[in-house]
């Protein structure tokens, strides 16, 4: 099953992530679970840039309710991943994030793409709350 990224999405930023030797598995390529870590790195860098809390002590913040990754090509050590982070489909309490991963030095060659649905949550009440203005501003 392959998930399709939406046509209409907003690029929030790009980040370069080094491929570490420890990211590899016995097959000699980056382990599938590590791609989800790369998605997380790109997403959290964006949230921190906009001042979004990512810790329960802040009262409310993002909670991932689902995530996916389409594995297109094998990444191998050494190298770096260019992760392009996008947002789309805002709701009252949620939005979606998407990341397209290329190998640095191979522009336009997609190695993986993935995403996650994020719900803004009151951590104490464990209930969804409206997106803060700082997040909503990215959707225009």
**Residue 44's pLDDT band (cuts 50, 70, 90):** very high
> What CATH number is attached to the domain comprising 113?
3.10.129.10
- In whole angstroms, how far apart are CA 4 and each of 102, 125, 136? 17, 33, 23
pLDDT for position 56: 66
pLDDT digits 0-9 by tens, 47-85: 888 876 666 677 899 999 999 999 999 999 999 999 999
Token pair of 27 as six digits: 């097959």
Token pair of 139 as six digits: 């959707």
State the Cα angle at 85 between 133 and 103, rounded to 5°. 165
Q: How far apart are the first and last CA of the chain?
A: 32
- Domain coverage including residue 76: 10-139
Residue 3 lies in a domain: no
pLDDT for position 135: 87
pLDDT for position 83: 99
Residue 60 lies in a domain: yes
Residue 76 lies in a domain: yes
Question: What total number of domains does the chain contain?
Answer: 1
Residue 5 lies in a domain: no
pLDDT digits 0-9 by tens, 87-112: 999 999 999 999 999 999 999 999 99
Tell me the mean pLDDT in the region 113-129.
Answer: 96
Residue 4 lies in a domain: no
pLDDT for position 53: 62
| Residue percentage of the chain with pLDDT more than 70 | 96
Residue 70 lies in a domain: yes
pLDDT over 80 at 140, yes or no: no
């Amino acid at each position: 099953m392959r998930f399709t990224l939406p046509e209409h999405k907003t690029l929030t930023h790009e980040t370069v992530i080094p491929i570490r030797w420890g990211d590899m598995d016995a097959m000699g390529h980056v382990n599938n679970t590590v791609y989800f870590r790369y998605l997380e790195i790109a997403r959290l860098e964006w949230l921190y840039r906009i001042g979004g809390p990512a810790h329960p002590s802040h009262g409310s913040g993002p909670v991932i309710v689902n995530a996916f990754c389409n594995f297109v090509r094998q990444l191998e050590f050494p190298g770096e991943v260019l992760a392009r982070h996008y947002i789309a489909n805002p709701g009252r309490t949620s939005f979606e994030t998407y990341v397209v991963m290329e190998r640095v030095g191979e522009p336009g060659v997609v190695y993986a793409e993935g995403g996650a649905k994020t719900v803004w949550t009151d951590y104490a009440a464990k209930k969804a709350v409206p997106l803060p203005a700082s997040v909503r501003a990215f959707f225009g």
